[in-house]
Chains A and B, each alone.
Chain A
């Protein structure tokens, strides 16, 4: 013990190492290692009663993603999984676009407020993030049901004759995804707009730009790093969403997350589930890398 204390006191690397060790070990053993294991499981043979057969390596799971085997052992293209991936991409992209449309004005509005209100507004934006995602998505069931608030309101306004089917559709999923991840769009955009020197906008006015041009030529370009960060922060979790499609989507609107989950539930196909999860992880990391390479050093506004 005395020798240990002495080492800690004298050696800076030893001290730093000892201090970061617990966090590194916990995340390393229970996160990094499992991810590696998952990648390995994806190339194992599926067990007969679920689970895996150790030592039997195969790319079957990856083949199964694209093709299906009929009773004669012939492979034909299986569009089911591809369709689910495509749907996930489309829904995530639409979610991202809607978040940007709603989020940018909100962020700009916040940035124009006096300083004392700004912190309160930021706080209001962050609160939903800290509340239960499941519960927040559940709230939309109440809103979207055939006798829910949205239908009642539309009927009351005379916009529709009879309740429309909203729940368990792609529309419901999109609404839920936008709702879940909207703060992730607003906060980074706000951060870049808040740093923006508003005198630059005044300079644009001074140089003859009208409001629309000042907005498009000065505000938006300077907010670009925030927009990019917001888009990636919305797109990535949307792609891996599980709760929202599970609650608000139907059997015909499955997303990658639900597909993965079903491989560990009813289907009991671990290698396929692991392969799907690994594919999702690869896509996410790729998106992160592209983002980091393009926006690592955001042009500073200040």
Chain B
């Protein structure tokens, strides 16, 4: 019935397919242009003269970029591990219980999503400076962890909600105690949600710029902060190459995360 609908002239609304085409072009054209020019031989970033992988070579030989990438990975890995753990236990706590203040807990978890990043960045910076925590990788990790919790929480929570409430009861009915039920039933069934949440956290941490820009001290430059610095200096093919790399990594990761999240549904 649905398949027929697209061919049925009754459902052709003037301008709708055109609007959609414009939308998707708008969404993807800049990305393709960026990736395209990253293979440009010419130093003039927007005049195409020939195919070249030189700029990728430049990027991979640039120690500062590699150091920044290393920082990004350390931050993203640590923040993801902590955020995913906190999100997992919170989701388990929120799952099968109804209590007063539950809405408040959900609101607090969603806080980092609602509040403008610039406000969070300012507040976090003031907090670290006033409390006297030296800005550095640690402060970046802390800020990212806060930001990642809702992204890890949502897929895990969705997975838990989608689970038949009778499943853990069935395990208890079949002589599994709480620990056995968690290890043998709940955790394996939650895995795709946990993995999906962890991967989303990881990309969010890799990509987050504004907060990092505020709370990264010297020596704690992450990749987005470094790229920002490069853009400030000038538009170069290296920026195109490293930007294209970041785009591709993100897209791969998010694709993987979605594929995992849909497992065994």
A234 to B134, CA, bound (A): 35
Cβ A274 vs Cβ B17 within 8 A: no
Residues of chain B in range 34-92 having any CB-CB distance to chain A below 8 Å: 34, 37, 45-47, 82-83, 85-87, 89-90, 92
Assess whether A138 is in contact with B231, with CB atoms less than 8 Å apart. yes
Say which residue of A28, A30, A182, A281 sits within 8 Å of B115 (CB atoms).
A281
Q: Is B26 an interface residue (CB 8 A)?
A: yes
For residue A157, CB closer than 8 A to chain B, the reply is no
- B254/A135 in contact, CB under 8 A: no
**B-side contacts of A135, CB under 8 Å:** 34, 224, 227, 243, 246-247
- Does the CB pair B243–A138 fall under 8 Å? yes
B118 touches A109 (CB 8 A): no
- Does B93 lie within 8 Å of A16, measured CB to CB? yes
Q: Which of A13, A33, A205, A242 contacts B10 (CB 8 A)?
A: A205
Contact partners of A261 in chain B: CB under 8 A: 118, 214
Contact of A138 with B153 at beta-carbon distance under 8 Å, contacts A34-B127, A260-B118, A261-B118 already known: no
Query: Which residue on chain B has the smallest CB distance to residue A145?
Result: B46
B146 CB, nearest partner CB in chain A, Å: 5
Choose among B19, B142, B178 the residue that contacts A109 (Cβ–Cβ < 8 A): B19
| A20-36, CB < 8 A from B | 20, 22-24, 26-28, 30-35
| B123, A34: Cβ atoms closer than 8 Å | yes
Query: Which of the four size classes fits the interface of chain B?
Result: 35 or more
Chain B residues closer than 8 Å to A128, beta-carbon distance: 27-28, 31
Check if A112 sits within 8 Å of B6, measured CB to CB: yes
Residue of A nearest to B29 (CB): A143
Assuming the contacts A26-B86, A114-B2, A133-B209, asked whether A20 and B23 have C-beta atoms less than 8 A apart, the reply is: no
B126 CB–A CB distance under 8 Å: yes
Report whether over half of chain A's contact residues are helix, strand or loop; otherwise say mixed: helix
- Across-interface contacts of B16 in A (CB, < 8 A): 105, 108-109, 112
Task: Name the distance in Å between A164's Cβ and chain B's nearest Cβ.
Answer: 16
- Whether A131 and B250, one on each chain, are in contact in the complex, defined by CB atoms closer than 8 angstroms, is yes
Give the residue name and chain of the A residue nearest to B12 (CB). A211
A103 adjacent to B23 (CB under 8 Å): yes
Segment at the interface with A among B106-114, B158-166, B167-175, B187-195: B106-114
A residues 190-247 in Cβ contact with B at 8 Å: 198, 202, 205, 211, 215, 236-237, 239-243, 247
Chain B at the A interface: mostly helix, strand, loop or mixed? helix
Interface size classification for chain A: 35 or more
Return A210 CB to nearest CB of chain B, in Å: 11
Do B23 and A102 touch (CB < 8 A)? yes
Instruction: Identify A274's interface contact among B23, B99, B109, B122, CB under 8 A.
Output: B122
Least CB distance, B4 to chain A, in whole angstroms: 9
Does B20 contact A131, Cβ atoms closer than 8 Å? Answer: no
* CB-based contact B109/A27 at 8 Å: yes
Given contacts A106-B24, A133-B207, A138-B239, contact A147 B120 (CB under 8 A): no
A156 to B255, CA, bound (A): 37
- Chain B residues packing against A (C-beta within 8 Å): 2-3, 5-6, 10-11, 13-20, 22-24, 26-31, 33-34, 37, 45-47, 82-83, 85-87, 89-90, 92-94, 97, 99, 105, 108-109, 111-112, 114-120, 122-127, 129-130, 142-143, 145-146, 149, 153, 178, 200, 203-204, 206-207, 209-210, 214, 224, 227-228, 231, 235, 239-240, 243, 246-247, 250-251, 253-255, 258
Top 9 A-B pairs ranked by shortest CB distance?
A: A105-B19, A240-B116, A19-B93, A109-B20, A34-B127, A106-B23, A139-B30, A34-B123, A23-B90
